[in-house]
Amino acid sequence: MSMDSGTGHPTSGGLDKVGVVGGGLMGSGIAEVCARSGRDVIVAEATEAAADAARERIHKSLKRAADRGKLADPDAVLGRIRFVADLEELADRDLVVEAIVENEQAKTELFARLDEIVASPDAILASNTSSIPIMKLAVATSRPQQVMGIHFFNPVPVLSLVELVPSLMTSAETTEAARSFVETGLGKKAIDCQDRAGFVVNALLIPFILSAIRMFESGFASAEDIDEGLVRGAAHPQGPLALADLIGLDTTKAVAESLYEEFKEPLYAPPPLLARMVDAGLLGRKTGRGFYTYG
C-alpha cells in the first residue's frame, strides 16, 4: 500500500466539501478517509463534548496509521477536518453523509433539517444507514433526487467496500457522482444495491449472526465453539458472535428489526437473548461486555 503523504493535493472524484453528521466510530472513519483524500471536511456533533471526542478518535486513528508507515503527515490530514456542534456550519457542503444512531425517526428529522440548511441545490444528502430504506429519508426532503445511501463498513479506513443505494427517486446523476466520489476519490470499491432494508451485505450477514445467537441461546454450543467452528471450519476471519460484539449488539438488533419490519421473515426476528442483552447494556466491545468480556 502506498503511503498517504497527507499533503493538500488536488482531489479527484468531485464533491470536495464534505460534511459528516455524527462523529462516532462510523462517522469519524468516514471523515478520516475523506480528509486523507484531500477533501475539506466538517464533522457535526450534537455537543461540544461529543465534537471533542470525535476529534480525539480521529487523531488516534491517524497516529496509528502514521506509526504503521501508512501516513506521512497525520497533522495535515487532521488540519483538513473541522469539528462543530452546529448543523448550520454545513450550509456550503457538496456532500453531507449522515452517520447518526440507527433510528428512523432521528434520521428523517435530520434529513428534513439538512434539506433546509445545505444551500447548493446540487448537493448530495447521503445516509450511512445499514438497514433503513432510503426512500423513507428522501421523502423528508424537498430534493429526493439528491438523496441516496452511501454505506461504508467498519473500520472505514481499512475496509474497501461501499454500498451505493439509490431510491426510486434518486437521479442517475446523483448516483454517478457518488460512484465517482467513492471509487475515484476515495479509492474504494462500490457495489450497487436496491433500496431494500439491509441492502446486500446486512441482508445476508444479519440472519447469519442471529442464527449463531439462537444456537448459543439454545445451549447447542458455547460461544467460543460456535466462533471457533466458523473461523477454523469455514475460514471466516472472525466468528459471528465476536462479530456481533464488534458491530454492537444494539446496532445488530436495530438492523434485525428493520429487516423484520420490511420482510416479515422469521430469520430476521431478533432472538430474545439479544433483546435482553441490549436492555442490560451489554452491547459488546464498546461497553466492555457482550458475548465476550473485553478488558
Interatomic CA distance for residues 33 and 28, integer angstroms: 9
78 neighbors 35 (Cβ within 8 angstroms): yes
Q: Is 89 a catalytic residue?
A: no
Among candidate residues 152, 19, 140, the one with its CA nearest the CA of residue 91: 19
Q: Given 163, 167, 257, 258, which residue is catalytic?
A: 163
Q: Given 102, 127, 151, 167, which residue is catalytic?
A: 151
Q: Is 163 a catalytic residue?
A: yes
Q: Is 9 a catalytic residue?
A: no
Q: Which residue has the cell 448550520?
A: 88
Chain-centre distance of CA 6, in angstroms? 23
Read out DSSP for 223-246?
HHHHHHHHHHHH--SS-HHHHHHH
Q: Is 202 a catalytic residue?
A: yes
Q: Given 28, 127, 167, 202, which residue is catalytic?
A: 202
Among candidate residues 130, 129, 127, 132, the one with its CA nearest the CA of residue 114: 127
Which H or E run contains 220? none
Which residues 6+ apart lie within 8 Å of 169 measured at CB? 135, 138, 139, 144, 145, 147
CA angle 105, 51, 159 (to 5 degrees): 75
Q: What is the set of active-site residues?
A: 130, 151, 163, 202
